[in-house]
Structure 1
Amino acid sequence: MPRLGPTVAALRMPRMPGADAAGAGRLRTVAGSGSNPGRLVMKVHAPVDRGPGAALVVVLHGCTQTAEEYAAAAGWLDLADRFGFVVMTPEQARPNNPNLCFNWFQPGDIRRGAGEAESIAQMIAHTVGAYDLDASRVFITGLSAGGAMTSVMLATYPELFAGGAIVAGLPFGVAASVPEAMEAMAMTAAPSAATLGAAVRGASAHAGPWPTVSVWHGQADRVVRPAAGEAVAAQWRAVHGATGPAQTARTPDGRDFLVWLAPDGEPAVELHRVPGLGHGAPVRATGPNGCGHASLYTPETGVSSSFEIALGWGLVERDAAAAPSGTRPPPRPAAMERPAPVRPGPADGVSRVINDALRAAGLLQ
C-alpha cells in the first residue's frame, strides 16, 4: 500500500504570496445556510448597486488558498462590482482537509445529499433566497481541487446550474481515495467518454437539460496534466450527446478554442487550451476587460479567463475600448444565452463559420 505522507504532500499547492492583502475584506462570512454536513464556511460578496434578480457565481478555491485569495486574484470580485452579480465562495476548513483542498476524491463528500456537495448546494439555495437572486442564472467555477469540486457539483446537482467552468480541474468520478486522486491528476489513461458520461448521468435523477461547460487548462500543467482537461470535455460531450466534430480556431491571444454542439445546434462544451500555462487560472490584470491580479496560481498571461468565462455566461460585456466603434455587444442577462451557435457549413466555409461565432463571442474583432 502506498505511503500517504508523500501523496498528501503532492496534493498541496503553495500559498499565494501577497494575496491576502489584495482582496482583504471584500467577502462577508454568512452563517445559517442549513445543516452543512460538509462543515464548510460560506462567504459572500454582494455589490450594493446590483439590480433585482441578479445572477450568482459560485467560486471554489484551490488547495492551501482561502476563498478571498482566489476570488480576488482570479478577478471574480472585480467583475461582480463592475457588472452587478453576486459571488458566493464556499471555503474549506482545516479539520476537513489540512491543506484546505475540497475533498473531490472522498466518496462521502461527492454524493448528492451528503458531505461537502450537500453543503455547497445548501449555500446556493440560501444565497439565492437571501439576496433575491435569479435561480435560473446560477453558475459555478473553480481552480484545481476547486475545479474538480466544480465537476462534482455539476454532476450531483445539475439542475442548480446554467453553466460551469472548470479550470485546471478533473472529471467527476475518477477518484475515490487519495492514491486514486494522484493517479487521476497524472491522467496517463483516461476512462472512455462513455464511462465518464455515465458517471455524471448516474449521480442524480436529473435527465436534462444539462449545464453548459467551459474547460480551461494550461498545456504546460505538471500538477494536473492537460489530459485531465481533455477528459472533462469528453465527459460533458458524452452527457450532452455532442457527438459531432469540434469547431476549432486559434484566438488572437494564442488559445486553441474548441466548441462542440449539442443535438439542438447550441454550444454545449468549450475547451480552451492555453499554451505555455502551468497550473493555474490565467489572468490579464490590466487593459480593457482586465480583472484580478497576478499571483502564483493566477499568472499574468494576457488571457483573462474569468472575464471570458463570464462573457460566455452572458454576465458581462466588453468595454467599449476593446472593440471598434459601434461594435460593442449589448448585455446578455438571460440565463442560457450564449455566443451565436457555431453551425456546421460546407467544408470550404468552416473557417468563416468559426470566425463568425468567435466574433459573436467577442473573441475576434
Structure 2
Amino acid sequence: MPPYGSPAQPSRSTGPSRHRRGRGRLPVLGSLVFAAVLAAIAALFAPVSRADAAPALEPVANFGANPGALNMYVYKPASLPDNAPVVVALHGCKQNAQIYADNAGLTKFADRNQFMLVFAEQTQSNNWDKCFNWFQPTDNKRGQGEAASIRQMVAHADQSLGADGSRAYVTGLSAGGVMTSVMLSTYPEVFKAGAVVAGIPYGCTDGNSPFTCMNPGVDGTPEEWAKRVRDAHPGYQGPWPRMAIWAADNDTKVVPKNADELRDQWTALHGLDQEPDKSDTLPPNDTRRDQYLAQDGSVAVEVNKVPVIGHGLPVDPGSGEQQCGTATTYFFDSICSSYWITGFFGLSEGSPGPDPTPTPSQSTTPPAAACFTANNYEQVKAGRATTSGGYVYAKGSEQEMGLYNTATTHTLKESPTGYFTISDDRCP
C-alpha cells in the first residue's frame, strides 16, 4: 500500500525453457505431442475463469461533481428493492473495482442480504499504482478531491439509483482501507458504520511520512487521535459512525500497531475506554475479536486480529454460509472478513452488531427533499453554499454555481440533510 507504489508482486514462471536437439525438424507425431504439452503449460498459466466471479460491474458516468476524477461502478442484486442500503467498497493499490468485486466476496452478501454495492475506482492518471491518494491533503479533506467524489457517489446512489443514502456504509483494503478512515472522518454524517482492513488512523500524515505511518506506525494518545477526526468536520456533534478494524498479525506493510491506534481513535470518539467489553475468537482460524460497547449495548468499535497472514484481505473460499471470496494476490485464504463486516454493519439476519432499532417516535422513511431558490449571495448567507475565489459552490456536492453576486440565481435541492445539489429543473 505504499502511496507512490505497492509491494512488488511475486515473480511468476512463464513455463519450462524450450531446447532444440540437433537441426532436424520434429516428426509430425512429435510436433503434435509438443504442441499438446505447450497447450497444457499455457492452460496452467492462463487466467482462471471462475464460476463464482462477480458479474461485470455496471459503470456509472456523470454521477455528479467529481473533483477527484474517480470512476464509479455499481453492483445491484437481481430484484433489489427500492431504498436498499448502500455499501461503498474501496480497492487496494494495483487493483481495480472488478478485481475487488471478484475476490472480496462482498457480492455474495449483497445478493443474500439485498443491498447495493458502490465501487469507487482509482485511475492511473491520478496515481500510477492506482492507490487512492489518502496521503494527499487535496484528497483527504472534506469537500475536496477524492473524498468529495466518493461522497458524491453515495448521493447519486440515493438520488438516482434507488438506494437509501441514510443507510450508507464503507469498507476498503489497504489504500482503500485508509480511504475508508478518510470517509468516516470527513463525512461522519453520511456513513452509519465502516470497516478498515489494513489501514491507519485518520490524520496520521499530518506531520508524518506516509511510510512512517504504515511501518513502524505512529504513537498518539486516544484524545490526540480523536481530535484529528473532530478537526476534519468542525462543529459536528455526532453521532459518530461505528467502526470495525481488521489487521493481520504478520502484516509488515501496515503493521498491526495501526489497529491499536485506530482503536484508540474511535473508542475516544465514542467516549469509551480502551479495555474491551467482550473478547472472543471467530471461526475458522481463531481470529481474535475485541468489542467495545456503547451505553445501549450495541458494538461501537471492534478490533479483529487475524493470525498467520500478511498484508491483504482475509477470505475463505467456498460455498458455506460463512465462506466467501477467492485466494489470490493480496486476498489470503483465512477467514471471510466480508461475512463478519456486513454482519457488523447490521445488514444480515442475526448480525452481531445491528444498528439500534428505531423507537416509535423515529421515522424510518427518509424526509422529503427540500428545494431553495435564491441568488448566490443569499445561498451563501443561508449556509447552503460556500464561496472561494469569487465563485460559489453548493455545500456538499461542491458543484460550481457561478459568481458570488446577486445576479446569479439557482435552485438547490437538499437531500440528504446538509447536502445540496443544483436542481434548477428538478424541483417544484
Mark the CA change 1:107 to 1:139 in structure 2 (over 3 Å): closer, same or farther: same
Counterpart among 32, 40, 46 of residue 70 in structure 2: 40
Q: Rg: which structure is higher?
A: 2
Higher strand share: 2
Kept in 1: contact 2:317–2:327 (CA 8 A) = yes
| 1:114 maps to 2:144 | yes
| 1:270 maps to 2:321 | no
Identity of aligned residues (%): 39
For the residue of structure 2 that corresponds to 1:196, the secondary structure is helix
1:178-189 mapped onto 2 (5 Å cutoff): 180-189=209-218
For the residue of structure 2 that corresponds to 1:135, the secondary structure is strand
**Corresponding residue number in structure 2 for 1:99:** 129
Cα distance in 2 for residues equivalent to 1:232 and 1:51:
35
**Corresponding residue number in structure 2 for 1:306:** 338
Residue 187 of structure 1 deviates from its aligned partner by: 3.2
| 1:54 maps to 2:84 | yes
Residue 74 of structure 1 deviates from its aligned partner by: 0.6
Runs of at least 4 residues of structure 1 off by over 6 A?
A: 15-20, 331-334
Mark the CA change 1:137 to 1:271 in structure 2 (over 3 Å): closer, same or farther: same
For the residue of structure 2 that corresponds to 1:271, the secondary structure is strand
| 1:251 maps to 2:282 | yes
Kept in 1: contact 2:54–2:101 (CA 8 A) = no
**Corresponding residue number in structure 1 for 2:413:** none
Instruction: State the Cα RMSD in Å.
Output: 2.6
Cα distance in 2 for residues equivalent to 1:198 and 1:26:
41
Counterpart among 133, 145, 150 of residue 175 in structure 2: 145
Mark the CA change 1:151 to 1:182 in structure 2 (over 3 Å): closer, same or farther: same
**Corresponding residue number in structure 2 for 1:297:** 330
1:1-365 mapped onto 2 (5 Å cutoff): 8-9=4-5, 11-12=6-7, 14=9, 22=50, 23=53, 25-176=55-206, 180-204=209-233, 205-243=235-273, 245-246=275-276, 247-253=278-284, 254-286=286-318, 287-301=320-334, 303-317=335-349, 329=350, 335-336=355-356
Kept in 1: contact 2:180–2:194 (CA 8 A) = yes
Kept in 1: contact 2:85–2:116 (CA 8 A) = yes
Cα distance in 1 for residues equivalent to 2:281 and 2:200:
24
Mark the CA change 1:225 to 1:267 in structure 2 (over 3 Å): closer, same or farther: same
Residue 26 of structure 1 deviates from its aligned partner by: 2.3
For the residue of structure 1 that corresponds to 2:84, the secondary structure is coil
Mark the CA change 1:279 to 1:193 in structure 2 (over 3 Å): closer, same or farther: same
Residue 85 of structure 1 deviates from its aligned partner by: 0.9
Cα distance in 1 for residues equivalent to 2:257 and 2:106:
26
Per-residue CA shift, 1:171-213, capped at 9, x if unaligned?
Answer: 1110159x71100000344222111110011111321111100
TM-score normalised by length of structure 1: 0.81
Per-residue CA shift, 1:298-318, capped at 9, x if unaligned?
Answer: 1111x110011111222124x
Per-residue CA shift, 1:185-242, capped at 9, x if unaligned?
Answer: 0034422211111001111132111110000100110110000111111110111111
Residue 138 of structure 1 deviates from its aligned partner by: 0.7
Unpaired segments of 5 or more residues in structure 2? Answer: 13-44, 359-428
How many pairs are equivalent? 318
Kept in 2: contact 1:249–1:256 (CA 8 A) = yes
Higher helix share: 1
Cα distance in 2 for residues equivalent to 1:180 and 1:197:
19
**Amino acid in the other structure paired with 2:226:** G
**Corresponding residue number in structure 1 for 2:40:** none
Cα distance in 2 for residues equivalent to 1:176 and 1:156:
15
Residue 251 of structure 1 deviates from its aligned partner by: 3.1
TM-score normalised by length of structure 2: 0.69
Kept in 2: contact 1:314–1:337 (CA 8 A) = no
Cα distance in 2 for residues equivalent to 1:171 and 1:222:
17
Cα distance in 2 for residues equivalent to 1:333 and 1:54:
18
Cα distance in 2 for residues equivalent to 1:283 and 1:234:
26
Per-residue CA shift, 1:269-316, capped at 9, x if unaligned?
Answer: 000011112111111111233222111111111x11001111122212
Mark the CA change 1:191 to 1:333 in structure 2 (over 3 Å): closer, same or farther: closer
